[in-house]
Chain A
């Protein structure tokens, strides 16, 4: 039996892993001649020090949570979706387009339509790799990375050409951005900061995803396919369908994240010409958040807030102790490596428990182990 202490230690492993990464960060700061306590203090104050700071943290956390929810679904279905960036971009492009095209709708209706269209955009961009994986055996890691690059070019084309803000089109320094959405189409704000209703919606969706994955047949089948495609096949589950569905759903959440950035934060689509100019790497960081939340939708909520805080705090740290915020990107990477490595100790402890008690506890989902094998055709 798994005791309560064991569960607690398992749940805290990612925290230990993060502390280890922060410790490495502290050593790096010392080498750079900066007092790590001052640096981390600046980081924490920058992320939580005032109502405004905390609101910013939640604003940054919202797209991470949404992308992360999609990642939870995909990874539970044994599909590695690296395409959050592209799915966000396409979702945002489509949501922006409907918002600018239909100008006379009631606000609540347009916002709903915009979010749906954004989700559909993400669905399309996630669905293509899904179909390619299920029916053409194309590795989804590679196709989603390619789809990201294609989406970035599509965005740069549309935002400097057909969709450019008419006010920018005439002047020399053309900022790649669209016109502003009508005022009625903006997400309501929760408190007088930039915090918008989307944050709350994202949290509600986290609970819905939990319900979907563990309380519905659809979710059960996605997880079954993720754990053992062969057994699922013999149990009569159409494995290929669920691979596609997992990526469709995953893309939908990323697309929604993109649409929400437009309707909730910028009120237009804007980029700076770099590949992450619009997303701010949320498509990648959402993966990190989901992993940190142990691929559990509810766990992804605090994980997103944590990484949102790191990102917002990094800017404050840069201002106060003059350490480039790139340090936090590097630390994010270390967190991922340490968290995914700490899983080893969880499994080791689990095995010891099993050998001690001879208890037939359900083993871990063997996700990822085989996901990169092209020959896994499940026929």
Chain B
């Protein structure tokens, strides 16, 4: 019954799954927000996440160290970010298209390496939950917010940090200037290319981390194509959140709460076809984009390569 959804246990369960599920979106979307703020649209997030997820899983399995796995995932993401930065910044490649190329590359490579190096479904023992003393013993919500694995905390910490960096620091000012008016930034002595390299590589690193959070912290397994479109949704969430970290957080939470809701609908056996439940977050995203996006302006130089005149 639908009314089963409105018991406290289920609502808290939805909240808890929502927080967990938001983790990869937060990493990937916040990283993408940096690069879009500086004027580069990276559509290859999905590929970076997949390759990051595989690298993290494989290295964690090989070395028995989750942290080395995290580093591997981030490193692979950073390398793909570097490649994306080079073709976008130096070769002026159309970003909407090169991103598709990097997506296909990440998809193919992660499948290839998985089939060659692992082959069968194997699991890792992922990051354990860490209960934060005192806070985790708050009734009801303590267990949801303060008894998660460490990557979940990192993801949520990234939001205020990024908001501060983008809005209050010189680096943030440079990033925004380069994305808004690269000519002016250049004339003031800001290296447009260097700033963009930084943000795109950082974005790639975060996408790799997002993949790692899937394969060694949330699901603890690698499957081919396991990101299932999450990288593309992460890009959508940046628009959704109007290029602001707090907006991205709101979008990621909304999306993952609806996702959590659909999981519980299936768990409780509520007679809605599971396919329609899975559809809900996507329909919701389109609706929210329809109602919200027209009011905000994208960074003016988004997708435009920069080149000095003369």
> Is B91 located at the chain interface by the 8 A CB criterion?
yes
Looking at the complex, which one of A132, A157, A284, A332 makes contact with B273 (CB distance below 8 Å)? Answer: A157
Q: How far is the CB of A293 from the nearest CB of chain B, in Å?
A: 13
On whether the beta carbons of A142 and B109 are closer than 8 Å, the reply is no
Which residues of chain B in 77-101 are interfacial with respect to chain A, using CB atoms and an 8 Å cutoff? 83, 87, 91-98, 100-101
Alpha-carbon distance A129/B253, docked complex (angstroms): 24
Q: If A138-B286, A146-B285 touch, does A337 touch B93 (CB 8 Å cutoff)?
A: yes
B302: Cβ under 8 A from any A Cβ: yes
A111-143 interface (Cβ within 8 A of B): 132, 136-139, 141-143
Minimal beta-carbon separation of A328 from chain B (angstroms): 7
Q: Which listed residue, A146, A336, A370, touches B104 by the CB 8 Å rule? A: A336
Interface presence of B134 (CB below 8 A): no
Tell me the bound Cα distance from A84 to B112 in angstroms. 25
Does the CB pair A372–B116 fall under 8 Å?
Answer: no
Specify the main secondary structure of chain A where it touches its partner.
helix
Q: Is the CB of A337 within 8 A of B294?
A: no
B98 near A336 with CB under 8 A, answer yes
Which of B122-130, B165-173, B200-208, B275-283 touches A? B275-283
Which chain A residues border B304 with CB–CB below 8 Å?
Answer: 369-370
Question: B115 an interface residue at 8 Å Cβ cutoff?
Answer: yes
Residues in B with CB closer than 8 Å to A27 are none
Q: Known contacts A150-B283, A153-B276, A332-B108: does B225 contact A340 (CB below 8 Å)?
A: no
Report whether A136 and B98 are in contact in the complex, using a CB–CB cutoff of 8 Å. Answer: no
Please give, as numbers and ranges, the residues of chain A lying within 8 Å of B91 by CB-CB distance: 341, 344
**Roughly how many angstroms separate A341 CA and B294 CA in the complex, as a whole number?**
32
Chain B residues numbered 218-265 whose CB sits less than 8 Å from any CB in chain A: 224-225, 228-229, 232-233, 235-236, 239
What is the CA–CA distance of A291 and B112 in the complex, to the nearest angstrom? 25
Q: At the interface, yes or no: B111 with Cβ under 8 Å from chain A? A: yes
Contact B282 A149, beta carbon cutoff 8 Å: yes
Q: How far is the CA of A226 from the CA of B118 in the complex (A)?
A: 46
- Bound state CA distance, A117 and B15, in angstroms? 43
Whether A49 is near chain B, meaning CB under 8 Å from some CB there, is no
| Any B CB within 8 A of the CB of A334 | yes
Measured in the bound complex, the distance between the Cα atoms of B278 and A8 in whole Å is 50
CA distance A346 to B69 in the complex (A): 41
Q: Is A375 interfacial (CB 8 A cutoff)? A: yes
Count chain A CB atoms within 10 A of each CB in B41, B233, B279 and give the residue with the most.
B279
- Could you tell me which residues of chain A, from 79 to 133, have a CB within 8 Å of some CB in chain B? 80, 82, 132
The B1-51 residues at the A interface (CB cut-off 8 A) are 41, 43, 47
- Chain B 283-310 interface residues, beta-carbon cutoff 8 Å to A: 283, 285-286, 289-290, 293-294, 296-298, 300, 302-304
Asked whether B106 is an interface residue with its Cβ less than 8 Å from the other chain, the reply is yes
A247 to chain B, nearest CB (A): 14
B98 touches A326 (CB 8 A): no
Minimum distance in angstroms from B300 CB to a CB of chain A: 8
A139-B96 in contact (CB<8A)? no
* A142 and B278 contact, CB distance less than 8 A: no
A347 to B233, CA, bound (A): 33
CA distance A335 to B104 in the complex (A): 10
- CB-defined contacts of B111 to chain A, threshold 8 Å: 324, 326, 329
Interface positions of B (Cβ within 8 A of A): 41, 43, 47, 83, 87, 91-98, 100-109, 111-112, 115-116, 224-225, 228-229, 232-233, 235-236, 239, 273, 275-276, 278-279, 282-283, 285-286, 289-290, 293-294, 296-298, 300, 302-304
Beyond A287-B97, A330-B112: 6 further Cβ-contacts under 8 Å? A138-B293, A142-B289, A148-B229, A336-B101, A337-B87, A372-B302
The 4 closest A-B pairs by CB, nearest first: A330-B108, A329-B108, A333-B105, A333-B104
19 contacts between A and B (CB under 8 A): A138-B294, A141-B235, A145-B236, A146-B236, A288-B104, A329-B104, A330-B108, A330-B109, A330-B112, A331-B108, A333-B100, A333-B108, A336-B101, A337-B83, A337-B93, A337-B105, A369-B94, A370-B303, A372-B298
